[in-house]
Amino acid sequence: MIQPIALALLLGFELSYYLLIVQTGIVQHYHSDLFKLFPIFVGGIAGTIFSAQAWGSITNPIHKIILALALQLMLSFLYPEYNVFTLGVLGVSVGLMAPLGIYLFKEKQQKELLFALAIAYSVGTYGFTSAADERGGIAVIFTLISLGSALLLKNYKVEENTKLVSHTFTSYLPLMLWILLDSNLFESISRHKGLDIWSNQTFLIILFHLCGLAAAYFIHMSTLKKQLFIALLFSGSYTLSYLELPLVLAAVYPFTISYYNVVVFTTLTKEMSLTRLAFMMVFIGWVASGIGLALALSKTLH
């Protein structure tokens, strides 16, 4: 019973850390200045690649996670004031966690994955309205929860009976596109004072995040139908943002985020090669989101 809970808490609060500290906290603190934020992207890519490499005698992914979280904890005490070096090192720690955290979840851990995403979107949404520069305590507490969970899992071994799956690069392109579209729309909405859905519709957003998770988990469709449905959801979200209809947007957009992310995470957890997973996470987690942020700042799509 302890192991499933620890798995959900580990990924759930690490994702919450990423949402509130990296994706919104640090980005807001540095006013979305891509030049100042560049070290975290470089560090993130380096950490993601390094996560799949041999660390001497340290081969167990959970042991790598413990070290990455220990580094993240030390850096959390510095939040939000980072220099070029510490910002890059923070990127490394978060980059390490991206593929390693996902790699723990295989076919038998899909329920734990669902609960982890539920934690992330509930906690992340509730904490989003807090002042970006005052999230130092959140950074420390969330990292401690993740680190404590990882320590409880120190003897955990990744499921090895799952059949080896290796998708082609082109099969991951839809995932990259969804991340790009989400990153662009999220940044655009969060900078639009007339569409401040997180402050005014916090609990509605949480509700539809959970609805999106449930729909993706319990309603089974073919891959093509899922992709078409996600395309429809993104089309609706963008249209509602263009029309500036915050109440409806607060229902459709969170549902979209949760639904497509279940598809993204379940696809990634089927990848049994940590090296290949780390390689794909560079494009899915860093390149796509970085391009989405750049597009939002340039107002190319919105």
Are 102 and 158 in contact by the 8 Å Cβ rule? The answer is no
162 within a domain of the structure (yes/no)? no
Per residue in 137-152, pLDDT (tens digit) is 999 999 999 999 999 9
- Name residue, tokens 């580094």: 71
Same structural domain for residues 94 and 175? no
Q: What is the pLDDT along the chain (302 residues), one digit of tens a residue?
A: 788 899 999 999 999 999 999 999 998 899 888 889 999 999 999 999 999 988 888 888 999 999 999 999 999 999 999 999 999 999 999 999 999 999 998 878 889 999 999 999 999 999 998 999 999 999 999 999 999 999 999 988 887 655 556 667 788 899 999 999 999 999 889 877 778 888 889 999 999 999 999 999 999 999 999 999 999 999 999 999 999 999 999 999 999 999 999 999 999 988 888 898 999 999 998 999 989 988 888 877 66
Are 197 and 246 in contact by the 8 Å Cβ rule? The answer is yes
Same structural domain for residues 70 and 202? no
48 within a domain of the structure (yes/no)? yes
Q: Which of 152, 185, 212 is the last residue of a domain?
A: 152
For the chain, how far is it from start to end, CA to CA, in angstroms? 46
157 within a domain of the structure (yes/no)? no
Same structural domain for residues 65 and 131? yes
- Cα separation, 302 vs 300, in Å, equals 6
Same structural domain for residues 106 and 208? no
What does the pLDDT read at residue 157? 84
What does the pLDDT read at residue 240? 95
Same structural domain for residues 6 and 112? yes
Same structural domain for residues 127 and 194? no
Q: Which of 117, 152, 187 is the last residue of a domain?
A: 152
197 within a domain of the structure (yes/no)? yes
Same structural domain for residues 196 and 142? no
Same structural domain for residues 202 and 89? no
**Sign of the four-CA dihedral 215, 219, 223, 229:** negative
- Cα separation, 107 vs 145, in Å, equals 24
Residues whose CB is less than 8 angstroms from the CB of residue 78 and which lie 6 or more positions away in sequence, other chains included: 86
Residues whose CB is less than 8 angstroms from the CB of residue 296 and which lie 6 or more positions away in sequence, other chains included: 183, 184, 185, 186, 187, 188, 191, 302
Same structural domain for residues 185 and 99? no
Q: Which of 152, 181, 209 is the last residue of a domain?
A: 152
Same structural domain for residues 212 and 262? yes
- Name residue, tokens 């560079």: 282
What does the pLDDT read at residue 170? 84
159 within a domain of the structure (yes/no)? no
Which CATH number do you get for residue 99?
1.20.1250
Same structural domain for residues 143 and 235? no
Q: For residue 106, what are the domain limits?
A: 2-152
161 within a domain of the structure (yes/no)? no
pTM of the full predicted structure?
0.93
31 within a domain of the structure (yes/no)? yes
Q: Nearest Cα to 92, choosing from 73, 61, 71, 74?
A: 71
To the nearest 10 degrees (0 to 180), the angle between helices 274-281 and 84-103 is 130
Same structural domain for residues 36 and 120? yes
Quote the number of domains for the chain.
2
What does the pLDDT read at residue 155? 87
158 within a domain of the structure (yes/no)? no
